[in-house]
Amino acid sequence: MKFGCHLSIRDGYLAAANHALAIQASAFQYFPKNPRSLSIKNYDACDAGRCREYCLEHHIISVAHTPYPANLTPTGKKKVRLISSLLNDLEIADSCGSIGAVVHFGNQTSGTDPLSAYQLIIETLNRILAQWKGKCKLLLENNAGPPGSFGTTLEEMVQVRNLSSFPDKIGFCLDTCHAFASGIWNGENTRTFLDRGTALGYFDGLEVIHLNNSLYPAGQGKDRHANIFSGGYITEEQMHSLLSAPELRQIPCILETPKNSENGHEQEIMQLNKKWGMLH
């Protein structure tokens, strides 16, 4: 299995890939630009290309994460900005050789019904992907929230992808903390969760896992990440039941857990490689 974490591009895309190798990460995630803005970045294409070649040489998988303000349910002028921003993210990620760009599913805005929100997400995706000709995919991430909340279920991810005009350009990112918080996976129902995902075709589109423990018990809807081996409510046994499943063994896992030392996630990645790295 491939394990990694989110890394800074402060010194460039190639430097982030180099950092991944230095901490024995075989995968990494990065923000392609300012994570707090939807502004367009004029990026260094040569640096991105060197990142791509470096990752190919060292068998490292990379994935981009779109900025925090990115939301697939925008309206008015915000929609125009979002579409331009996500196309910019996809272009940068593609140049870096990344498998996809993770985007949060979207929200049901106040006063709207769920159906309208789903239609808005599909319309936004279609407008973006009609213009996108690269290999990099947009990866829909499941939301955290109380059971039954908007954007928390595998059914929603799959249906939005199926109803879009460009399903082959859409994939999924499974956040384990979000799944735990929303109760779709509570650590004790792993086989049921996996069987449901298989029946829906969800795992056929799964490209990356955000591997996070949860600071709160299952079903409380709280998006607070904890470290894999300490401080969380997901036990090692429960995490093992998920990571050892054939459906997930080939999917790269990215930590978004608290940094527990000056060296960031190096120790946690070492523990993950030791415990689950040889699963295949």
| pLDDT tens for each residue of 106-145 | 888 756 788 999 999 999 999 999 999 999 999 999 999 9
- Tell me: pLDDT of 204 over 60: yes
Is the pLDDT at 58 greater than 60, yes or no? yes
Q: How does pLDDT run across 239-251, given as a tens digit for each residue?
A: 999 999 999 989 9
In a domain, 200, yes or no: yes
Q: What is the pLDDT of residues 2-34, one digit of tens each?
A: 999 999 999 999 999 999 999 999 999 999 999
| In-domain check, residue 165 | yes
In this predicted structure, the answer to whether residue 280 has a pLDDT above a threshold of 60 is no
Residue 107 is predicted with a pLDDT of 86
Determine, yes or no, domain membership for 270.
Answer: no
Q: At 75, is the pLDDT very low, low, confident or very high (cuts 50, 70, 90)?
A: confident
41-50, 125-134, 257-266: least confident range: 257-266
The verdict on residue 14 lying in a domain is no
Percent of the chain with pLDDT over 90: 91
Task: For residue 175, tell me if it sits in a domain.
Answer: yes
pLDDT at position 220 is: 96
118 in a domain, yes or no?
A: yes
Number of structural domains (the chain) is 1
In a domain, 104, yes or no: yes
Q: Taking residues 245-273, what's their average pLDDT?
A: 90
Question: Is the pLDDT assigned to residue 182 strictly greater than 90?
Answer: yes
Band the pLDDT of 261: cuts 50, 70, 90.
Answer: low
Q: Give yes or no for residue 100 having a pLDDT over 80.
A: yes
**Per residue, what are the HEC states of the chain?**
CCEEEECCCCCCHHHHHHHHHHCCCCEEEECCCCCCCCCCCCCCHHHHHHHHHHHHHHCCEEEEECCCCCCCCCCCHHHHHHHHHHHHHHHHHHHCCCCEEEEECCCCCCCCCHHHHHHHHHHHHHHHHCCCCCCCEEEEECCCCCCCCCCCCHHHHHHHHHHCCCHHHEEEEEEHHHHHHHCCCCCCCHHHHHHHHHHHCCCCCEEEEEECEECCCCCCCCCCEECCCCCCCCCHHHHHHHHCCCCCCCCCEEECCCCCCCCCCHHHHHHHHHHHCCCC
Residue 242: both structure tokens together: 């998920």
Average pLDDT, the chain: 95
Mean per-residue pLDDT, 63-91: 94
CB of 34 within 8 A of CB of 9?
no
Query: In CATH, what number is assigned to the domain containing residue 133?
Result: 3.20.20.150
**Cα–Cα distance for residue pair 142/179, rounded to 1 Å:** 7
pLDDT > 70 fraction of the chain, expressed in percent and rounded: 98
- For residue 110, the model assigns a pLDDT of 57
38-47: average pLDDT: 97
Q: Confidence class of residue 262 from pLDDT cuts 50, 70 and 90?
A: low
Q: What is the residue range of 197's domain?
A: 68-264
| CA–CA separation, 251 and 246 (whole Å) | 10
Q: Is residue 63 part of a domain?
A: no
- Give pLDDT, residue 263: 62
* 278 or 195, higher pLDDT: 195
How many C-beta atoms surround the C-beta of residue 41 within 10 A? 14
